[in-house]
């Protein structure tokens, strides 16, 4: 109940209501005994504000885009003052701005050579993350990936390639064989250890990518050379199927670098 109440307060779609009005609405709910006993700070904090709400709060508080807010401070201060959220808001407790972490920063990868590579190494870069295979009908896309890397790398762009043998057993080779094949194609981008992209043992990064941008009908990866475009803030902007060539993505990349 608490999370639903918080979500209803923070998730309103009205763009004409000010941040204070939002807080007043929430305050009226919180002060009702039936709700007050159940609305804990963590539940309120977990609620995801709508874009309209965060925009209005940002304008009122003076924080920058990309900031998230922890309203547990406001809830707690309102209780201390005995007046709920509205009084806390008027007293200047507008929620604690928290810097949004770069979402992929938590992931650690393994290079094709077996070295640990924190994904944080590519922070503030535009990324095209793709599952590759050496014996696939889409393998010629390697050449276009090379072209994208050459064209945009100096502007803060990286192709990150992940060999995968889950589709048609089309990446059966050892790490050395995969590396040699990629070199024969002129690969000038980071190549990582072979992974699974579907199933319970799917790589955590790929689980996150699928969760951020689901596919048509199902979220699972359907075939080799599925691509995810991630912007400099760590947001998954687009997902592309195997039939979308890397060259066709160039305009989307150009808008982000």
Largest CA distance in the chain: 71
Taking each continuous run of H as one helix and of E as one strand, the counts in the chain are 11, 8
Degrees (nearest 5) of the Cα angle 223, 126, 121?
100
Degrees (nearest 5) of the Cα angle 90, 11, 67?
65
What spatial distance separates the first Cα and last Cα of the chain, rounded to whole Å?
43
Spatial distance between the Cα atoms of 24 and 228, rounded to a whole number of angstroms: 41
Q: Which of 48, 61, 49 is nearest to 95 (CA)?
A: 61
Q: Active-site residue among 9, 26, 136, 164?
A: 136
Tokens of 38: 């159940």
Tokens of 256: 């982000």
Q: Is 136 a catalytic residue?
A: yes
Spatial distance between the Cα atoms of 142 and 134, rounded to a whole number of angstroms: 9
Spatial distance between the Cα atoms of 45 and 10, rounded to a whole number of angstroms: 10
The answer to whether 144 and 156 have CB atoms below 8 angstroms apart is no
DSSP string across 110-174 = EBTTS-EEEGGGGTTSEEEEEEE-SSSTTTTHHHHHHHHHHHHGGGTEEEEEEEB--STT---S-
Give me the active site residues, please: 136
């Amino acid at each position: 109940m608490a999370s639903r109440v918080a979500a209803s307060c923070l998730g309103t779609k009205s763009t004409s209501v000010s941040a204070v009005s939002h807080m007043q609405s929430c305050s009226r709910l919180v002060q009702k005994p039936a709700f007050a006993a159940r609305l804990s700070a963590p539940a309120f904090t977990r609620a995801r504000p709508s874009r309209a709400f965060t925009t209005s709060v940002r304008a009122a508080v003076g924080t920058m885009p990309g900031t998230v807010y922890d309203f547990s401070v406001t809830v707690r201060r309102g209780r201390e003052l005995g007046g709920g959220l509205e009084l806390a808001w008027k007293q200047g407790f507008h929620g604690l701005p928290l810097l949004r972490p770069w979402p992929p920063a938590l992931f650690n990868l393994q290079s094709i050579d077996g070295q640990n590579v924190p994904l944080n190494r590519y922070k503030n870069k535009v990324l095209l993350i793709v599952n590759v295979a050496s014996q696939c009908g889409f393998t010629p896309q390697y050449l276009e990936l090379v072209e994208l890397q050459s064209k945009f790398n100096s502007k803060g762009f990286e192709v990150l390639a992940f060999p995968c043998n889950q589709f048609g057993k089309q990446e059966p080779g050892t790490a050395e064989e995969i590396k040699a094949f990629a070199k024969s194609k002129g690969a000038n981008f980071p190549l990582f250890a072979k992974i699974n992209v579907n199933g319970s043992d799917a790589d955590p990064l790929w689980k996150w990518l699928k969760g951020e941008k689901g596919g048509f009908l199902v979220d699972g990866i359907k075939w080799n050379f599925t691509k995810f475009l991630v912007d400099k803030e760590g947001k998954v902007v687009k997902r592309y199927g195997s039939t979308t060539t890397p060259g066709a993505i160039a305009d989307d990349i150009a808008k982000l670098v």
